[in-house]
Structure 1
């Protein structure tokens, strides 16, 4: 299946299991997953030009609920399976009194990335918990963060951009392909 992230595979397995439970042949349905392509903001991946080479940009800029954040962040052992990883994330919203703890609780997963870029006041909590060597930059909002992420990209990087639609992280997704002049 041409999609990155365990969450895509889990969803596909659930769909095949449900189809099987309803009497459909999962073995016949499975090859259709080869044609699956995540949409913009939902895991779409694209090679982008960076300093004479390319980097892989993963656009997860539509949903930033805590389970979605954890699913998109690199899991244990990820460093052994992929090139250097940059992550850019914005505040998760509508978390009420749990917001501080939920943002801080992402530190173990976010800390597996090589470099982390954050924006928003709640993500400042996460950013402060990261080792200094992992801190790319923190900004007030996505518009301020976008040029910082663009400047940090190097050939061979994998960059994950994660945030809710309302956080406007699509600005960070577009930044690497826009001129810096």
Structure 2
């Protein structure tokens, strides 16, 4: 019989809290809507709501116990600060496991790479692989993901994001990866930094938390490779760079792209592998190289990793392709609605360019957190839009005015974009939907429906 994820006694020991009555928990959450029964509910105070107000609802949904700052009439552990206690629970979970831990960050490709690594390790250890769900990559999501890690895990993959200097440093200190991966460095969240070099240094903070003797996996072809390489050397880590160019430890030998993905021959640190990436675009080849490097560093089977990459077929908001019914047939929607920055926007438009279609259409939302250079970055989208062969274009958000595209439809919000898409789509069309998450273009994809 599998032991519980947490007992009340273990939670009290990890957090220094006071246990009211024994209980056992099979999961951890701070969102009462996620409860299915048997979890620890962490009642945290937030800017918008106090989790203690949802204790009764959580109990009704089957929460096994509670982590709280004031006594409740259910089994609980009483602490001074629930958020701090969640961090302590995550640290305790990390300390008790023998798992090989992989941490992933980057300006683009974090979640896709994390999911590909999850699939790869799940093929190797199907009942002993743990990973952070969704994009739980911030100051609350990372300790929650750690706290959910079973003690007997063999592999664990955690995503780490940041908006400011120092955030990755705090997260990697909790995760303590054996393998740290940087997917790419670009100008996402640049409004909070002086320049891209600052972003590179912030991403390189992930190497600070790597366990002694661990590995750093980083993009050899990135314009900030010298900063990343120096950070690896400063920590004395084993280095595995990846890329297309000579000198990369994990390098493309041959690539044959088609409409569904790319067939690859790869030199994986001296071991040749033939595999397929089941996602389209050069950026996904780069992500795939990072996956192979990380699996190699973690002591996993790179052939299994190659099979996992072939099985990738898109994530909601991150490249998922949907077949949408329209008059006379169907159209294809490329769902890239989760987020956008200049690098990921150019990559998505390149995928649209290379996708066979009767017509290519795009709904592009504003890119946020670009600071004083926002207008220039938006204006620079003109070339990749032209290269993609877009014949019908909708632009959502005031920042898009800088693009100055005479033939575009400038729309105020996602709801208007839904109407535009329904009016425009014809049989054989391919529609790209991409923008910053705050623009809400996921509503467009949801409204259009469709199936994989």
Same fold per TM (> 0.5)?
yes
More strand by share: 2
Which structure exhibits the higher relative contact order, with contacts defined as CA atoms closer than 8 Å and separated by 6 or more residues? 1
CA offset at residue 35 of structure 1?
A: 2.1
Give the TM-score normalised by the residue count of structure 2: 0.36
C-alpha displacement at 1:32, in angstroms? 1.7
Within the candidate set 140, 156, 163, 2:435 is matched to 163
Match of 1:93 in 2: 368
Superposed, 1:19-168 pairs within 5 Å as: 19-74=295-350, 78=353, 82-83=356-357, 84-111=359-386, 112=388, 113-126=390-403, 128-129=404-405, 132=407, 135=408, 137-168=409-440
Distance 1:68 1:35, change over 3 A: same
Alignment deviations for residues 85-106 of structure 1 (CA, whole Å, 9 cap, x no partner): 1110111111110100000011
SS of residue in 1 equivalent to 2:330: strand
Structure 2 gap segments, 5+ residues each: 1-276
Q: Is the 8 A contact 1:92 1:163 kept in 2?
A: yes
How well do the aligned residues superpose, as a CA RMSD in angstroms?
Answer: 2.2
Q: Pick the structure with greater CA Rg.
A: 2
Report the alpha carbon displacement of residue 29 of structure 1 after superposing the two structures with TM: 2.1
Equivalent residues, number: 171
Verify the 8 A CA contact 2:364 2:396 in the aligned structure 1: yes
Q: Partner of 1:16 in structure 2?
A: 292
Q: Give the superposition deviation at 1:176.
A: 2.8
User: Where is the helix percentage greater, Structure 1 or Structure 2?
Assistant: 1
- Does structure 1 conserve the Cα–Cα contact (< 8 Å) formed by 2:281 and 2:351? no
Secondary structure class of the residue paired with 1:12: helix
2:391 and 2:289 map into 1 onto residues whose CA distance is: 30
The alpha carbon displacement at 1:147 in A equals 0.4
Q: State the 1:26 CA deviation.
A: 2.2
Give 4+ residue runs of structure 1 displaced > 6 Å after superposition: none
More divergent stretch after superposition (46-55 vs 3-12): 3-12
Q: 1:124: Cα distance to partner? A: 1.9
- Identify which range, 64-73 or 94-103, moves more after superposition: 64-73
Distance 1:28 1:120 in 2: 43
Measured after TM superposition, the shift of residue 168 of structure 1 is 0.7
Q: TM-score, normalised by structure 1?
A: 0.84
